[in-house]
Amino acid sequence: MTWPIGRHGILVALALAIAPSTAYAGPPFVTDDPEPTPYGSFEVYTFAEGVIAEGRMSDSTLGLEVDYGVAPNLQIAVSLPVGLSAISHASVHFGVFEVGLGVKYRFIEEQEDGWRPQVSVYPSVQTTISNPEKATTDSATHTFLPLWAQKSFGPWTTFGGGGYRINPGVDGRNSWFAGWAVLRRIDSRLQVGAEIYRETANARGADVIAGMNVAAIYDLNETFHVVASAGPATGAQNEAPPISYFLALKWTR
């Protein structure tokens, strides 16, 4: 289960939707997990994500992410928000606007019959590669330096952690992110879960972003999997909190 970069668009979109102005996650959560893609294996996601604020869709993105296990306990990831990027009804663009790159390294493995969790670091960067006016973030390169931990107990898995985001944009502010998630396996194909997360203000004049999501992961077979989540975020002067959504088809090999 990996989604260190691809899910960054949810917090980006939330920042645009609820603040005057980015997280990397384990699908379908904003919060990440420390488990790297197995050595020699691929995980490919095609995803759609966005935010519904004040009764209308304020941002939507289609994208692609590729994760690869380059060595035991070591994963690289590339995320490309491609296709449609609609920041508003009056501003719809097509193309590749940003790229995300990350490296996940697990330096502590989980003790299955003991107390020790698995722990990873996952430095990631996101940068604009086209006209900044068409991108879903500012033109600066963002760096995220997190630490993630995970422990499983029977059908239950819990993971989370946090990190420091460096935002050198003109109106940007460096921020702290923290989140925690719980998953439960219902049967051989279905997992359901929930998360809570919080990030300090990441731009001048912005608010703290705090939210929650409920999620599901369904295995169609050994190769294809559907992951989805949705939930509210708070911290702005909206009459109702914006709702973020995320849907992806995951292919594994």
pLDDT tens for residues 15-67? Answer: 333 333 333 457 899 999 999 999 999 999 999 888 887 766 666 778 889 99
Query: 40: alpha, beta or left, given left = phi > 0 and alpha = psi -120 to 50?
Result: left
Q: Which domains does the chain have, with CATH numbers?
A: 8-252 (2.40.160.40)
Tell me, what's the pLDDT at 171?
A: 84
Read off the pLDDT of residues 94-126 as tens digits, 9 standing for 90 and up. Answer: 556 678 999 999 999 999 888 999 999 999 998
**E strands along the chain, which residues?**
42-53, 56-71, 74-80, 84-88, 91-94, 98-108, 118-121, 124-128, 142-153, 156-166, 175-185, 190-199, 209-219, 224-234, 243-252
* Distances 98 to 32, 76, 120 between C-alpha atoms, Å: 20, 17, 25
Read off the pLDDT of residues 162-214 as tens digits, 9 standing for 90 and up. Answer: 999 999 878 889 999 999 999 999 999 999 999 999 999 988 888 888 999 99
pTM above the 0.85 mark? no
Q: Which two tokens stand for residue 84?
A: 């449609």
